[in-house]
């Protein structure tokens, strides 16, 4: 490694660490003062609150890392432009593409690290953090989930849902059990599908079995559609269903295969699976965009302007990325295109700026 490359690598790591620690510190502080009252109201020990905020740090780091890469590149090259170091290097025959090599290598390394970080640590810590927040702090209704199956304990009732599709507010494979004071089964309702509209669940292809107390037999009734007031709403189910970010790539792939083998639609999970590959690549893309943006501007525009442009670029990326993912969740775009389109657009944009720097 040459002296110039060593210098750039050291400076990039230094400013990346400063940006990452600063942003994570601000985020955790704001989150702490916003939620600490909930922990106090729930009479939980301070150790539980500290554990909750500590468990959220890996997820925050994973989200902030691409922005840290972008800002580090902008700061390093911006200072070099302001100090006329870039002019001196160019006068000595050093090309922009020579300076870009360590930046690209750093971007690739951060992309690989971000992928494994998101695969190993984030699913485990986010799952536990959500469990603390919903079960211990909010003390929400007793709902448990194991992969697809959701069990809900109500007042003398137990509900089982085989699969829940959040995007359409639909439930599949519904079974409702109702009991008397002696915990004897008094009614069972089975339905192929349920749709939440107008503040109520509409069950389809319903089979209802009611206990006849005289002879202890069950009366069976069939209905094509039956409006029902169940003891839960889609928001309750969305809270408990394991999300894509709480699963590793292997777990999510296995989950998708199982869901599709049973005939259910797994489009939203396929989008999440594609996003697990597309998102870590943003570190490489931000290194390209950051280099092009820092060297493309003129010195008279000021160092602060490039930072503002960089933050705007990061905001634009996340807005477009979220929009494309929403199109994928809605089935408008194929999962691979929904997850990768933003990366393609910003790679082209960064490359064009980089080609025009000389």
User: What is the span of the domain harbouring residue 212?
Assistant: 148-240
Distance CA 167, CA 62 (A): 25
The pTM (predicted TM-score) of the whole model is: 0.73
Which portions of the chain are predicted below pLDDT 50?
Answer: 142
Q: Please compute, for residue 244, the number of CA atoms within 13 A of its CA located in the half-sphere on the CB side.
A: 18
Residues 227 and 291 in one domain: no
Q: Give yes or no: residues 202 and 335 share one domain.
A: no
pLDDT in tens, 267-315: 888 898 899 889 889 999 999 988 888 877 655 556 677 778 888 888 9
Do 117 and 195 reside in the same domain of the chain?
no
Same structural domain, 84 and 156: no
Q: Number of helices and strands (H, E) in the chain?
A: 10, 7
Q: Tell me whether residue 21 is in a domain.
A: yes
Q: Are residues 226 and 297 in the same domain?
A: no
Q: 84 and 116 share a domain?
A: yes
* 46 found inside a domain: yes
- Total of domains in the chain: 2
User: 127 with 14, same domain?
Assistant: yes
pLDDT value of residue 148? 64
- Name the domain boundary from 240, 271, 288: 240
DSSP letter (8 states) at residue 243? P
What is residue 167's predicted lDDT score, i.e. its pLDDT? 73
174 and 297 in a common domain: no
């Amino acid at each position: 490694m040459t002296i110039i490359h060593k210098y750039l690598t050291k400076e990039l790591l230094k400013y990346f660490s400063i940006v990452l620690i600063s942003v994570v510190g601000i985020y955790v502080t704001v989150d702490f003062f916003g939620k600490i009252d909930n922990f106090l109201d729930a009479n939980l020990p301070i150790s539980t609150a500290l554990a909750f905020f500590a468990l959220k740090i890996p997820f925050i780091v994973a989200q902030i890392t691409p922005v840290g890469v972008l800002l580090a590149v902008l700061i390093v090259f911006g200072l070099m432009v302001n100090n006329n170091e870039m002019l001196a290097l160019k006068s000595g025959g050093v090309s922009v593409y020579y300076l870009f090599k360590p930046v690209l290598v750093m971007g690739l390394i951060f992309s690989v690290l971000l992928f494994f970080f998101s695969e190993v640590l984030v699913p485990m810590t986010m799952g536990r953090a959500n469990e603390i927040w919903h079960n211990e702090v909010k003390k929400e209704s007793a709902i448990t989930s194991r992969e697809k199956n959701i069990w809900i304990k109500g007042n003398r009732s137990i509900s089982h849902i085989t699969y829940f599709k959040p995007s359409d507010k639909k439930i599949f494979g519904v079974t409702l059990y109702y009991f008397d004071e002696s915990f004897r089964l008094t009614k069972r309702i089975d339905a192929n599908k349920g749709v939440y509209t107008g503040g109520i669940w509409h069950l389809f292809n319903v089979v209802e079995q009611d206990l006849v107390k005289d002879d202890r037999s069950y009366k069976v009734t069939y209905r094509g559609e039956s409006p029902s007031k169940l003891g839960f709403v889609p928001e309750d189910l969305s809270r408990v269903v394991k999300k894509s970010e709480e699963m590793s790539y292997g777990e999510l792939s296995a989950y998708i295969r199982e869901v599709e083998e049973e005939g259910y639609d797994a489009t939203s999970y396929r989008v999440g699976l594609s996003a697990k590959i597309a998102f870590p690549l943003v570190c490489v893309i931000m290194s390209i965009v950051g280099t092009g943006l820092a060297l493309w501007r003129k010195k008279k525009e000021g160092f602060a302007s490039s930072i503002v442009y960089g933050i705007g670029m990061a905001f634009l990326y996340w807005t477009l990325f979220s929009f494309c993912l929403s199109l994928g969740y809605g089935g408008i775009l194929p999962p691979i295109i929904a997850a990768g389109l933003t990366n393609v657009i910003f790679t082209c944009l960064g490359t064009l700026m980089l080609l025009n720097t000389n």
